[in-house]
Amino acid sequence: MERRKAIVITGTSTGIGRACALHLDKLGFKVYAGVRNQIDGQNLRKEASENLTTINLDVTSAESIALAAGIIEKETSGELFGLINNAGIGRGGVLEVTPITEARALIEVNLIGLMAVTQAFIPMLRQAKGRIINIGSSSSFIAFPGASVYAASKFAVRAITDSLRRELKPFGMSVILVAPGVVESKIWDKGKAYIEKLRRSVPADIALLYIPLSKFADKLDSEMKKIPAEEVAKAVAHSLTSKKPKSVYLVGSGAKRAVKLSHFPSDLLDWIIMKPIRKMGK
């Protein structure tokens, strides 16, 4: 049955998107894998079956979205079973020194881009009583210091998922949040490079104030256990193939722990989060 089902995945060049594209291709779905350049598309096709189609899709470009939607509508006769909103960028930094231009760029990809792509494909998804899977994060449930803008985008993805699920339920559609912990992906290398660049631009007197947090972030990064992107792909596959998919899939112990912590009283949660950071200042 899956062989007749067409799905679209955004952000398939690396990480979760790439793993989802390859895994769902193996399961027999007709995968339209969104990429932003031809080289990434060529590399993906080398590992996929001939049924996988790469398509230029920049979630920040209305023209790119409309063109991709038009092509897919024509090839699927207007019926699309699944949309996996995966495209995203991860950038940290304390709010005081985060350039607003960078904050806008992150929100544009992680949130506005998701909304724009979803709007474009809802008519096709409604025809097939299809499913929308939004890739969230452990940061969809808990916001750590130094990750305010990223967490804001992922909290918003969770909120949109909840609202959209209720809006589209009358049409027999499902809207699902897949929230992983820290995943093996090049997004972390890019994020680390961004942080290093940001730190170099911060005035020395301001940087001094945040030394404990910087030390803690570096320690956390070095000790962080990342889960394979394939684990997320399996959760996405279940959300597409189950007769009764869950509303939320938590992937990895980090995401499950974040949800548990999110239910703690705010004062207690602040104490738990800040305790190891304070130790870095001693």
Domain boundaries, the chain: 2-280
Nearest to 71 by CA among 129, 124, 12, 140: 124
Report the DSSP beta bridge partners of residue 175: 132
**Cα gap 282→278, rounded to integer Å:** 7
Report the DSSP beta bridge partners of residue 135: 178
By three-state DSSP, how is residue 6 classified? Answer: strand
pLDDT of residue 1: 45
Active-site residue, selected from the candidate residues 32, 150, 210, 249: 150
By three-state DSSP, how is residue 225 classified? Answer: coil
How does pLDDT run along the chain (282 residues), one tens digit per residue?
A: 455 799 999 999 999 999 999 999 999 999 999 999 999 999 999 999 999 999 999 999 999 999 999 999 999 999 999 999 999 998 888 999 999 999 999 999 999 999 999 999 999 999 999 999 999 999 999 999 999 999 999 999 999 999 999 999 999 999 999 999 988 877 666 777 777 877 888 888 988 888 888 888 888 777 778 899 999 999 999 999 999 999 999 999 999 999 999 999 999 999 999 999 998 876
What is the reported pTM? 0.93
pLDDT of residue 218: 82
Report the DSSP beta bridge partners of residue 178: 135, 249
Amino acid in the structure at residue 247? S
pLDDT of residue 4: 76
210 in catalytic set = no
The DSSP call for residue 252 is: S
Nearest to 233 by CA among 9, 3, 6: 9
| CATH architecture classification, 2-280 | 3-Layer(aba) Sandwich (3.40)
Nearest to 258 by CA among 271, 245, 273: 273
Dihedral (Cα; 216, 221, 223, 225), 10-degree rounding: 140
pLDDT of residue 157: 98
- Sequence-distant (6+) residues with CB within 8 A of 134 are 85, 114, 157, 160, 161, 175, 176, 177, 178
The two structure tokens encoding residue 159: 């909120």
